[in-house]
Homo-oligomer: A and B are copies of this chain.
Amino acid sequence: MSGNSFGQRFVMTSFGESHGPAMGVIIDGCPAGLEFDEALLVAELRRRRPGQEGIQQQVVTQRSESDSPEILSGVHQGKTLGTPIAIVVRNANQKSSDYDHVKDRAGHADDVWRKKFLHSDPRGGGRSSGRETVSRVMAGAVAQMLLKQVSPATKIIGYASQVGPLQLSVEEEQKFLSRQTRADEFVARFPSVDQDAVKNLLLQAREQGQSYGGLAKLTILAPPANLGQPVFHKLKSDLAGAIMGVGAVAGVEIGDGFDSAQKLGTDFHQSASSVYGGIRGGISTGETITLKVAFKPTSSILDVSKNGRHDPCIVTRAIPVLEAMIALVLADHLLWSRQDRL
């Protein structure tokens, strides 16, 4: 296997198996002198693991992940040194016996991995697990620190716009977006008026061993302009690749996306500022960028009598990961753009 690095300038390398000693990430290419916000790192890890506390507690899987990050290198007296930043999180439970009851999980990639790598690891080397996203979220937190200092107005806001049969109305969506804050306080990160509806849907699904697909939307407010390289590393291309690389994602749109396929050119280009989704010719204009992401229903539909350990809708958990990937793409292109002009 290889391909565990992401980015061309702000390069993160992910490592760790879900049943091994630790998950971790190395970031190579972060400039020296950045203020390292350890609280932000911890907060992002907590957002990724919403099962233990707060409003998401009941609707996502309760995993025994404490996820206390240890910074092994790259930071000194609160600032980045310019050297590689290594961050590690220990795995609380290293035994894969934990997964004994899910060995034949429909939709899991275990058999595919075994065929490719010829090994007998019970969970595809432990890299196909959602646990790997710990590394992405940690790297994304560092990317956010860079964005905060270089482009402080930029905000990356993800939310669920559909959870199984429930969809946000246009009004709910506009109201939420006008707040310009994250969706963490809403059940399942679904900012609907009727919070009980989504809660009940998901609680019932857990009981029944059912799962739902869903949609996430992402809004990048005030992104830096001039990001993206025009041919193969268009900003939209790197964003789409990053997002499609997240587990269970089955589709991604930028701007008006699939809706634009239905449109007349004369209509489409009159309402230009919204429809391009903040990217033209592959390059960010500085306007709001919008993305829509489709998720399959999670595949771990278990024998509920055993422990019911599954996420009835993966979107809730995936949002901090999507936000992290977007931060990584922006940070990467921010450094890359330093090479554009003489």
Contacts and interface: CB of A to CB of B under 8 A. Distances in A.
Interface of A: 1-6, 8-9, 11, 13-17, 20-24, 26, 28-29, 31-34, 70-74, 76-77, 79, 81-86, 88, 106-110, 112-113, 115-121, 124-128, 132, 149-150, 162, 164-165, 209-215, 225-226, 229-234, 236-245, 249-258, 260-266, 268-270, 272, 275-277, 280-283, 285, 292, 294-299, 301, 335-342
Contacts of A11: 2, 5
18 contacts: A1-B230, A2-B29, A4-B229, A13-B28, A15-B83, A20-B76, A33-B117, A76-B121, A81-B121, A88-B88, A106-B269, A107-B276, A113-B283, A127-B231, A234-B245, A237-B245, A241-B241, A251-B292
Contact of A338 (B82, B237, B270, B338): B338
A33 B119 contact: yes
Contact of A261 (B125, B213, B337): B213
Contacts of A241: 237-238, 240-242, 244
Chain A contact residues: helix, strand, loop or mixed: mixed
A196 B262 CA distance: 20
Nearest to A333: B3
Given A32-B341, A261-B295, A232 B5 contact: yes
Nearest to A335: B339
Contacts of A77: 120
A261 B294 contact: yes
Contact of A21 (B70, B118, B236, B255): B70
A257 B266 contact: no
B117 A258 contact: no
A229 B1 contact: yes
A138 to B, nearest CB: 14
Contacts of A119: 32-33, 76, 79, 81-82
A3 B230 contact: yes
A70 B198 CA distance: 45
Given A71-B21, A340-B116, A282 B245 contact: yes
A28 B244 CA distance: 22
A15 B81 CA distance: 12
A116 B233 CA distance: 15
B108 A281 contact: yes
Contact of A281 (B23, B113, B265): B113
A280 B28 CA distance: 22
A296 B281 contact: no
**Best-surrounded residue of A70, A215, A272, A338 (most CB of chain B within 10 A):** A338
Contacts of A149: 342
Contacts of A82: 1, 117, 119, 125, 340-341
Contacts of A16: 72-73, 84, 86
B251 A297 contact: no
A237 B231 contact: no
Nearest to A267: B297
Given A33-B341, A106-B269, A250-B261, A112 B283 contact: yes
Contacts of A9: 2, 339
